[in-house]
Structure 1
Amino acid sequence: MTLEIATIERARFYLNTDAPFFALVQKNSGLTAETVHEIASEYLVRRNIGSRDELLVIANHLNTEIASWPDDLANRAAWCLRQAAAIKKQLNLHHTPFSAVTKLAWFLRPDDWTLYDSFARKAIKSGGVGGIQQVTRFYKVLGEQGFLDAANRIEQIFHGTSWSNLSGVRVLDAYMMWKGGYPFRLTSDAARKGFLDALPGTGGQELSTLAARITTELARHNFIKFVEQR
């Protein structure tokens, strides 16, 4: 049931938040000061990335450095750590914006990448002391436990449906967040029904069917079993 809730919650958040942000990033061919501000505010990491006047520096830095985006989770995590450290030094920030960079990078390169978040980290109990070690161990555990394979299985289920824009990695992100204690809106039957009923046409029924299928087909996947046993 947890994965079913996460799938529906992911659809709600995508429609409400990520789809508009993606459109803005695409229109501007990258991040802008405004989109950095809006994404960071929505994802609750705004306090770690400097004043509004400095956001253009962050946008330009990530837009340039994303050209060197690596091919695997571990190296992408290391890339984010390097960019966060560079941004901190350049803007003389009090905190290193590790989490913010992983989130902003997702809007530039969403395929096979997921966000770092303390709630998701709690779900998999990856541990670590201090930001660098926590981020590194989080992605290391994801890689070891077949996270991307599970995400790709979800993508295959979405393929060819009206929900094909939903991201498998972000369904699993929602799943980990909820398991880690994040207070999502659609955890009650009544809230989920209200959301599904509000979707136009057959969208709600199709999403409900897909969520149930994802839950059934991934129940025995190594990554899901790993998280459920934590």
Structure 2
Amino acid sequence: MSLDAAMMRATAPAILPGSGGLRGALSDLFWRKPKVLLLLMLLPPVLWLGIVYIGSLFALLAQSFFSIDEFSGLINREFTLKTYGDLFQAANLDIILRTVTMAALVTLASAVIAFPIAYYAARYARGRWKALFYLGIMLPLWSSYLVKIYAWKLILAKEGILTWLLAKLHLLWVLDAWLSLPIVGGNSLSVSFTGTFIVFVYVWLPFMILPVQAALERVPGNLVEASSDL
């Protein structure tokens, strides 16, 4: 290599010269080390998840080893297993049994209702119909949880629109007969096991439809046709 060529190469500008200022330095750093940019982008949600969510769960777990003074109602911050021992009382065991039973029934009913809806949306809905599907599924999620609960409480009450409709159709005796049943009935549909079941299915159904629909869209259509021959 001649001396002139070596001097020209030494004095030639870099392919990617560094930018000036703090903004340019940060841009160069993120370009050369993309993992640093990824770390900075993941840091806020990880801190939120770790401190606010998981931290609150650990705080709740720590407080579960405290007890409440039955006379003053104040928290006694001494390590004890009294709270866990209270779980095995008859009243608490009944609450746990009813909660687990309700959760299982709501999950099963949501799966049965969600699958045909999700299958139609994944296989047949196109264009505007698919947009209407997403709108109909997401619309209940736009209101708060408490608003939906109170709205259903009014709908299912004795003075609600459902009782009025059944009275107009001369079917109020069906509701009265159902409410007279020992487990699923009650004084009113809004406070009965049946009413609670209906509300929970309504609240959690979108969370069952959307994942099932997304999973069905990833299944190739030719596999579905081939499975029909088996």
TM-score, normalised to structure 2, is 0.22
| Greater C-alpha radius of gyration | 2
TM-score, normalised to structure 1, is 0.22
